[in-house]
Structure 1
Amino acid sequence: MSLKQWGAVLTGCAALLLTACTVVDLDADGKPIIPADPNAKASFDNQTPQQIAQQTWQSRVLNTATRHALGSSELATQLKTLSSTPHSVFVRLTGKVEKVDSSNEREQKLVMIVNGQPLEIQSGPVIRGNAIRDAAGFRFEEFTNQVQFAQLSRAFNREAVTHLPKVDGSWNGKTASVVFAATLTNGKADDAAALELKQEAP
Structure 2
Amino acid sequence: MRRLKWVSIVAVGLLISLSGCKIVKNPDPDSAGQADANLTDEARMAALARDIWDTDVLPTVAEHLVPIDDLRVSLAQNEQAAGQSHGLRPEGEANPWNFAVSGSGSIVEANTTSRAAKLQVDTTGDGAADVTVQLGPVIRGTAIRDAMPFLIFTDFRDQIEFAKLAGGLNAMAHERLSLPEGDIIGRTVSFEGVFTYRDLASAPEVVPTALSFEAPE
TM bucket, shorter chain: 0.5 to 0.7
Equivalent position to 2:59, from 50, 63, 69:
63
Partner Cα distance (2:57, 2:189) in 1: 21
Amino acid at match of 2:55: S
Identity of aligned residues (%): 28
More relative contact order, 1 or 2 (CA 8 Å, 6+ apart): 1
Amino acid at match of 1:118: D
- For 1:4, the equivalent position in structure 2 comes to none
Q: 1:142 and 1:191, CA in 2 relative to 1: closer, same or farther beyond 3 A?
A: farther
CA displacement at 1:82 relative to structure 2: 4.8
Equivalent positions of 1:5-154 (< 5 A) are 48-80=44-76, 81-82=78-79, 85-102=95-112, 105-115=114-124, 118-137=130-149, 138-154=151-167
Q: 1:159 and 1:127, CA in 2 relative to 1: closer, same or farther beyond 3 A?
A: same
- Normalised by the length of structure 1, the TM-score is 0.68
CA displacement at 1:128 relative to structure 2: 1.4
CA displacement at 1:173 relative to structure 2: 0.8
Aligned length: 158
Amino acid at match of 1:67: E
Structure 2 gap ranges (5+): 1-23, 26-40, 81-93
- Normalised by the length of structure 2, the TM-score is 0.64
Partner Cα distance (1:55, 1:175) in 2: 32
- For 2:15, the equivalent position in structure 1 comes to none
- For 1:194, the equivalent position in structure 2 comes to 208
CA displacement at 1:87 relative to structure 2: 1.2
Amino acid at match of 2:109: K
Amino acid at match of 2:50: Q
More helix by share: 2
RMSD: 2.7
Partner Cα distance (1:100, 1:82) in 2: 30
SS of 1:170 mapped into structure 2:
coil
Amino acid at match of 1:194: P
Partner Cα distance (2:212, 2:130) in 1: 19
- For 1:173, the equivalent position in structure 2 comes to 186
Partner Cα distance (1:75, 1:112) in 2: 17
SS of 1:149 mapped into structure 2:
helix
CA displacement at 1:169 relative to structure 2: 5.9
CA displacement at 1:140 relative to structure 2: 0.9
Assess if the C-alpha contact under 8 Å between 1:100 and 1:168 holds in 2. Answer: no
Amino acid at match of 1:128: R
Partner Cα distance (1:62, 1:173) in 2: 28
